[in-house]
Structure 1
Amino acid sequence: MNDCGISKLDLKRRNRMQILKVVREQGPISRVDISAILGITRAAVTIITNEMIDQHILEEVGEEPVNPSGEVRKGRRKILLDINETYKFAVGIYVDEKEVSIGLTTLNAAALDKQLIAHEGDMTPEKLVSLLDDILEKMLQNSCLSRENLLGIGVGIMPSAYEMMGLEEGTETCPVFPALQKALEDSLHLPIYINSAVMEFAMAGLHYNEIHAKAENQVFLYWDSGSYHAIPISGNSPLLAAAAGDAFIERLCVDPDGRAMEGYPRGSVRAELSAEAVADKIRPVFSEENTPALFAALNGDLSRLTPASLLTAAETDQPLQEIAAETVKKFCVMLQALHCLYAAEHVNLYGFGFTPEHLELIRKTAEEFAGEAFAQSILLCPIGDRYHFLSGCTYIIQAGFYQRGGLV
């Protein structure tokens, strides 16, 4: 007997995964329309969706609404299906060098409970497990849930906390934490998914709190330790090959007549937009007398400079205004390059500390040389500081539910 090829379980998971994907992006949607989109027979779709309804993964949410201006159809209107967002619940954990963020959400990543815990840079896997034991039980009690209701736990570790949390192998964009994985599994007896928190923020996408979010290309751009990093996203999945070499962004040219730097093209992002490069331009005018707003914000230490602190200070510090304007222009050139390279529908900014006012300034500058459509494609990451745990929740929902066809 030949055992090669796809197994029945794999085929079942694949079909269910495709159906969940369509419902997630198009729903509420009828069985007939699912069949037309996927090219699967109506009978097969009916069998699969009925099974998923019996398992409470999908639910019927009523008939297709009547279109007053459309053609009158004969017969019964289509019955629409949608994902039951309370089929399972997700726990997300975010860890960096200063804090731990823990939260509980529905499958729609709607937060039910959350807690933020500060630490002194000494959060070990053992301490996290002990902390989680108490917090998780209280969160479940508050929402009248038990561990059987949980899909699993998604854990995101920031690169700054890799050593603290026992990184033993892997890479920055594909880390492996054996000690943490084992400690959580042994204590909680739940599926555990651990990844880079940065990668999880990227996977969370732009519409993490919308039930029906269309898959799209985007670039997740984040600021860390004075440098830029970019993770291109195709649909809901990172382009891992590109993400693994995310230092490519430092080599992009934003000013052909700009500064030279060994190992980089003239006018590169590294030479023009890194914190060190911008600080070099500010240093000649930086003082408590000349730039009081920036001096106060940084406590006199230019090594603490961020893009947001520069833009805020430039509102009142006249010597900074020209530097800030040039920096924003080059920043927008970088964004447009990423936008074009990956045919991105959005460029999602994270970790810059930008306010909505900063975003409007960036968009206005971008519109001047690249048009309104590009300017409006620039967005701030919607996951705020108090909701960092949502990155872990979104990761477990994507990897442990959708990619498994709901077979938890």
Structure 2
Amino acid sequence: MMTHSNPSIKKQVYDRISYLGTVSKADLLNDFPLTSSSMTRLLEEMTHQGMIVVSGLGHSTGGRKPILFQTNPTYRFLFGLEISRIYSVLGLYDLHLNSLSLTRWKMDAEMTPNQLVDSITSTAKRFLDEHGLSPEDVLGIGIGAVGPLDSRKGVILEPELFPSPAWKHVPICAMLEERLGFPASLDNGANTALIGEHWALRSETIEHALYVHAGVNIRSAVMSGGRILRGAADTEGAVGQMIIQANGPRLRNRGNYGALEAFVSVPALEERVRTQLKIGRSSILSDIAPELVNFATLVDALTKGDPLVKEEFTETAAYLGIGLANLINALHPECVILGGPLISAHPLVFDSAVEIAKKNTYHYPEYNPVFTQGLLTDEAVATGAAVMMMQRWSGD
């Protein structure tokens, strides 16, 4: 029989209370092989430590009303960091994953690893000062970054298409640990986004989920049985190499011919619109040089209802729907979460992609996964990185 002196059982009980939100001792006894007296001692120890707090009394089933417990949100704090090609985000969170402070940086050619670490260091210290906290109050910083990575060594390897060419073999965890004085943990951003959204959606008890991020390229993560599926290689962007048109185009003369990312990505969309402008299609963008057209100008034109740009976004969304259908037919998720700049650009992207995906899903509508943009949306990667750090915390 496990006892309260086992640190792992304490963390398991803590994680269960954290996940459920509010629990009674009886709820926990259903989940753990502890005697009633052992569970009572463990809960008293955790309350005395400040890890959990009494949050009230539950409904009586005939005897005394049961005492209810919650995790203490201010027992410790967490940082979550997203590093992507377009922007990076830093958030400070309590243990209920409430965002206390948040900032973002544009990833331009000047944003080298050293520059970003400098910015993170000064901003993290400012956040702590603003909330009256010290580094000892922080469990650590979780990082969700563009791959490929060596997450075990905490190194960002050779990601493509960063505006600054300095993002090669960056020991990001060691750099931040040295400057901040608390642990850092690294995973790819698609995984942390899915971890974060799964946390946010936990009241719906989703076990099998697919996350797809559509931006500069296509990134994905898969959860089965409530756990992130990790293959033999960290290739979150490999889904973009799914061939959806044999002998089709290549993106930037790399990768597979007819790959999904050649149809569904920010660079592919920019290139298609530039081509249409060069051959004389009318648009509110006709007054600027085609090579100056970028994603920001496209989103602005789409918001203003430009027919050409709307047509190209709709086509992008349709190809995304085909790619989603292929993944859904292989993985059979209960829930499909879509994120990234292409999705958040305009509702028509999500709506069109979902419509096409459903039409190409085998056994639809008998099998009908839930499609969502999630609850965390643009903060999913950073929040999920904080969740990951909390899950890896030993509970000491």
Greater Cα offset, 28-37 or 266-275: 266-275
- Is the Cα contact below 8 Å between 1:94 and 1:392 reproduced in 2? yes
- Is the Cα contact below 8 Å between 1:101 and 1:387 reproduced in 2? no
Residue 272 of structure 1: how far off its partner (Å): 5.5
2:54 to 42, 49, 60: 60
Read off the aligned partner of 2:321 and give its amino acid letter.
Answer: C
- Is the Cα contact below 8 Å between 1:31 and 1:45 reproduced in 2? yes
SS of corresponding position for 1:240? coil
Read off the aligned partner of 2:77 and give its amino acid letter.
Answer: F
Residue equivalent to 1:359: 350
1:84 to 63, 72, 75: 72
1:234 to 224, 249, 270: 224
SS of corresponding position for 1:241? coil
2:332 to 323, 343, 346: 343
SS of corresponding position for 1:65? coil
Distance 2:268 2:242 in 1: 15
Pair 1:12 & 2:6 matched: yes
TM-score by length of 2: 0.74
Residue equivalent to 1:25: 19
SS of corresponding position for 2:6? helix
Pair 1:333 & 2:322 matched: yes
Residue equivalent to 1:395: 388
1:290 to 281, 286, 310: 281
Read off the aligned partner of 2:332 and give its amino acid letter.
Answer: A
Distance 2:360 2:22 in 1: 40
CA shift in 2, pair 1:388/1:75, >3 Å: closer
Read off the aligned partner of 1:300 and give its amino acid letter.
Answer: P
- Is the Cα contact below 8 Å between 2:302 and 2:310 reproduced in 1? no
Read off the aligned partner of 1:347 and give its amino acid letter.
Answer: V
Distance 1:178 1:325 in 2: 37
2:183 to 185, 191, 206: 191
After superposition, residues 266-345 of structure 1 pair within 5 angstroms as 269=260, 273=264, 285-287=276-278, 289-293=280-284, 300-301=290-291, 304=294, 312=302, 316-317=306-307, 321=311, 327-345=316-334
Pair 1:48 & 2:42 matched: yes
Residue 54 of structure 1: how far off its partner (Å): 1.7
Distance 2:175 2:275 in 1: 52
Distance 1:247 1:134 in 2: 31
SS of corresponding position for 2:205? coil
- Is the Cα contact below 8 Å between 1:151 and 1:396 reproduced in 2? yes
Residue 231 of structure 1: how far off its partner (Å): 1.6
Residue equivalent to 2:131: 143
- Is the Cα contact below 8 Å between 1:219 and 1:230 reproduced in 2? yes
Distance 2:309 2:179 in 1: 57
Pair 1:260 & 2:247 matched: yes
Read off the aligned partner of 2:247 and give its amino acid letter.
Answer: A
1:75 to 56, 59, 63: 63
CA shift in 2, pair 1:377/1:115, >3 Å: same
Read off the aligned partner of 2:391 and give its amino acid letter.
Answer: Q
CA shift in 2, pair 1:272/1:353, >3 Å: closer
Distance 1:276 1:182 in 2: 32
- The percent identity for this pair of structures is 18
Read off the aligned partner of 2:230 and give its amino acid letter.
Answer: L
CA shift in 2, pair 1:176/1:192, >3 Å: farther
After superposition, residues 125-144 of structure 1 pair within 5 angstroms as 126-144=114-132
SS of corresponding position for 1:292? coil
Residue 85 of structure 1: how far off its partner (Å): 1.7
Point out where structure 2 has 5 or more consecutive residues left out of the alignment: 160-166
| Cα RMSD for the two superposed structures | 4.5
Point out where structure 1 has 5 or more consecutive residues left out of the alignment: 1-6, 67-72
- Is the Cα contact below 8 Å between 1:310 and 1:324 reproduced in 2? no
Greater Cα offset, 116-125 or 20-29: 116-125
Residue equivalent to 2:196: 204
Distance 2:92 2:309 in 1: 47
CA shift in 2, pair 1:398/1:186, >3 Å: same
Distance 1:289 1:159 in 2: 38
CA shift in 2, pair 1:396/1:177, >3 Å: farther
CA shift in 2, pair 1:289/1:65, >3 Å: farther
Distance 2:323 2:119 in 1: 42
- Is the Cα contact below 8 Å between 1:159 and 1:196 reproduced in 2? yes
1:218 to 206, 209, 221: 209
SS of corresponding position for 1:190? coil
Offset from partner CA, 1:154-198 (integer Å, 9 cap, x none): 2344349x8xxx9867687xx997754334333332122233334
Distance 1:266 1:273 in 2: 13
Offset from partner CA, 1:10-29 (integer Å, 9 cap, x none): x9243233323432333412
SS of corresponding position for 1:244? coil
SS of corresponding position for 1:114? strand
Distance 1:134 1:277 in 2: 36
Distance 2:114 2:272 in 1: 46
Residue equivalent to 1:69: none
TM-score by length of 1: 0.72
